[in-house]
Amino acid sequence: MPYFHLVFTLPHELNAWIAKHDRVIYDALFHTAWRALNELSQRKHNGRAGMTAVLHTWGQTLVRHVHLHALVPSGVYRDQGWHSLKKNYFLPVKLLSNRFRGAMVSQLRAAFREGLLPALSQMEVSRLLNVLMQKPWVVYCKSALEYRSTLVTYLARYSHRIALSNNRFQVWNNDKISLQYRDYRSGKQSLLTLTPQELVRRFLLHVLPRGLMRIRHYGCLSNAIRAKVKKRVDKQLGRYEPKANGGSEKTAESGCSCPACGERTVTYLGDVSESKVTKRLRILQSWDNGS
């Protein structure tokens, strides 16, 4: 089954708040992304959407760059059964972006009123949220038809760790460390030199609060109803045959880049640990295969 890849990104102005109240803001990000998506989906397609979302907190140079990757099936679940959508259209991106912004800002206001952001003052909350409401927030949305396998593999790889592997270190001595990264504006590889202390500081930005779930499932992909929905969808789509190798799936050479953290997904093919969580993340792939 085709699906869409959406990325909900928080503006960097919220980074200072995240440093003080990461759990509340990460939870709000999951909640509001789903709320914006599902409400709009109900309105536009008259059915329940599904979403598997993975939290990333890093950019290419390990700075804090909080974004949520969402895999959304190209269809909605109605009482009568599964309703497939057009392959290249899901929701109007501008409307979705505005809804996400409004939902996130009102969620943060509510969190402050309820005393969940005690390190912040009334004045700074009002000031910053008013500023953020005036700025455009852009939700990335693209049909993942052409790179669905590489996308799921990429997200599965970072379900338990951040995007930092040994081969990205170019020089390592007592004084400095050079880190290779891809500048996603130019597309070129570049080097960033940091002190070991700065590298560790940046690395620690991405340690999640204890027990926080980095991967969550919603709507027709939520744990409670997923099996039931899957059974009906499989039955309904029984005639769906995935193309054999060489079909519409693009090859490793033509994969995608994460629009937020800039990582190329293609370099990670065939290198995924099959942990319990990554198996669960692969549900959309299992739908592809009709299993």
Q: Which residues bind Zn ion (CB under 5 A)?
A: 56, 258, 260-261
Contact assessment for residue 266 and residue 150, using Cβ atoms and an 8 Å cutoff: yes
Q: Quick one: how far is CA 238 from the chain centroid?
A: 29
How is residue 137 written in tokens? 């927030």
Query: Would you say 5 or 56 has its CB closer to Zn ion?
Result: 56
Give the CA-trace dihedral at 175, 181, 187, 189, to 10 degrees.
Answer: 50
Report, in Å, the least distance between residue 54 CB and Zn ion: 8
Query: Would you say 57 or 143 has its CB closer to Zn ion?
Result: 57
Report, in Å, the least distance between residue 164 CB and Zn ion: 13
Query: Would you say 77 or 154 has its CB closer to Zn ion?
Result: 154
How is residue 25 written in tokens? 């803001």
Report, in Å, the least distance between residue 185 CB and Zn ion: 16
How is residue 285 written in tokens? 């792939």
CA distance 33 to 208: 19
Between CA 69 and CA 52, with CA 154 as vertex, the angle to 5 degrees is 35
Backbone angles phi, psi at 248, to 5 degrees: -75, -20
Query: Would you say 162 or 237 has its CB closer to Zn ion?
Result: 162
CA distance 175 to 80: 64
Query: Would you say 65 or 99 has its CB closer to Zn ion?
Result: 65
Query: Would you say 184 or 240 has its CB closer to Zn ion?
Result: 184
Report, in Å, the least distance between residue 110 CB and Zn ion: 27
Is residue 282 classed as helix, strand or coil in its secondary structure? coil
Eight-class DSSP state of 81:
E
* Residues whose CB falls within 8 Å of the CB of residue 291, separated by 6 or more in sequence, listed in order: none
Report, in Å, the least distance between residue 269 CB and Zn ion: 17
Report, in Å, the least distance between residue 58 CB and Zn ion: 8
